[in-house]
């Protein structure tokens, strides 16, 4: 098996070596295709769609980025979410707002003056939220004395979460200066506050907090580029 990989490495090495032989003899092209630089602002469409499909969810997210070089964009998302987690023994609602700050790197080489992106990004995320334990049932583990459901809500506010996330996505310019973007993200929690004698099941902007303190997310956004200049 190792031999296979080693031969494969050699093969790729030679193929690569051959590809390098073509000499760049073209003269400098006098026509350069310029693309728009500016501030792009948009809205995440997946959140209102999710709110229609799931009655225990509501949320809104605004997205924005600013192009700083040919490949790099400074990006941020700002949003608010409310989600009710229904588990076997607990029912809790998280409600709050969040901000994600970071940058995107466009690894797609556009033809001519096209302005599409295949990007990888990283973000630092921060959320401030409250969590309400709507109802719960003690897991008594026996059927002789079934435990009653306690429906007195317990709210704890002032909770915060910090996380780091990686994004991978596409952007396509569907009309001039109008972009559709689709991206997925993997989140790693740095720190999250848990309510007293309970746990944060969902953090706004982070989504479900898995036992390993990781999370996933996706965005489907439509955005408009306000062009400042062409470069």
Partner 1 sequence: MKKQLYFLLLLITTLISSCEKDDFCIDPITPNMIIRFYDATNTANTKTVSELYAWPNALDSIYSNASSDSIVIPLDVNSNQIIYNFSTGTNQDILTINYEVEEVFVSRSCGFKAIFNNITVTSDSANDWILGLTTTLDNTVTITTIDDETAAHVQIFH
| d(C-alpha 115, C-alpha 108), whole Å | 9
Stretch touching partner 1 by CB under 8 A, among 17-25, 53-61, 63-71, 132-140: 132-140
Considering the complex, state which of residue 29 and residue 88 has its C-beta at the smaller distance from partner 1.
88
Q: Phi and psi (nearest 5°) for 150?
A: -95, 120
Residues sharing a CB contact under 8 Å with residue 130, sequence separation 6 or more, in sequence order: 94, 95, 96, 155, 156, 157, 158, 159
Decide: is 176 part of the binding site for partner 1 (CB under 8 A).
no
Q: How far is the CB of 49 from partner 1 (least distance, A)?
A: 13
Nearer to partner 1, 36 or 167 (CB): 167
Partner residues linked to 44 by β-bridges: 221
195 vs 90: CA distance, rounded Å: 14
With binding defined as CB under 8 A, does residue 169 bind partner 1? Answer: yes
Q: How far is the CB of 91 from partner 1 (least distance, A)?
A: 10
Residues 84-103 that bind partner 1 (CB under 8 A): 87-90
The DSSP code for 213 is: S
Output the smallest distance, CB 212 to partner 1, in A. Answer: 10
- Least Å distance between CB 208 and partner 1? 7
């Amino acid at each position: 098996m190792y031999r296979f990989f080693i031969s494969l490495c050699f093969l790729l090495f030679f193929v690569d070596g051959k590809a390098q032989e073509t000499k760049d003899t073209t003269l400098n092209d006098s026509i350069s295709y310029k693309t728009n630089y500016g501030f792009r602002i948009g809205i995440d469409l997946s959140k209102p769609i999710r709110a229609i499909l799931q009655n225990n969810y509501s949320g809104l997210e605004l997205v924005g980025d600013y192009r700083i070089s040919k490949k790099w964009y400074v990006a941020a998302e700002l949003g608010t979410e409310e989600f009710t987690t229904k588990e076997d023994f607990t029912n809790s609602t998280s409600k709050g707002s969040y901000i994600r700050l970071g940058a995107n790197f466009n690894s797609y080489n556009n033809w001519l003056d096209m302005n599409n992106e295949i990007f990888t990004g990283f973000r630092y995320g921060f959320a401030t939220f409250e969590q309400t334990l709507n109802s719960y049932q003690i897991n008594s583990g026996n059927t002789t004395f079934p435990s009653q459901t306690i429906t007195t809500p317990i709210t704890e506010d002032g909770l915060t979460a910090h996380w780091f996330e990686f994004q991978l996505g596409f952007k396509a310019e569907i009309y001039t200066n109008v972009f559709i973007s689709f991206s997925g993200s993997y989140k790693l929690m740095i720190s999250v506050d848990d309510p007293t004698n309970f746990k944060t099941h969902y953090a706004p902007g982070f989504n479900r907090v898995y036992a390993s303190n990781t999370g996933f997310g996706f965005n489907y956004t439509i955005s408009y580029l306000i062009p400042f200049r062409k470069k």
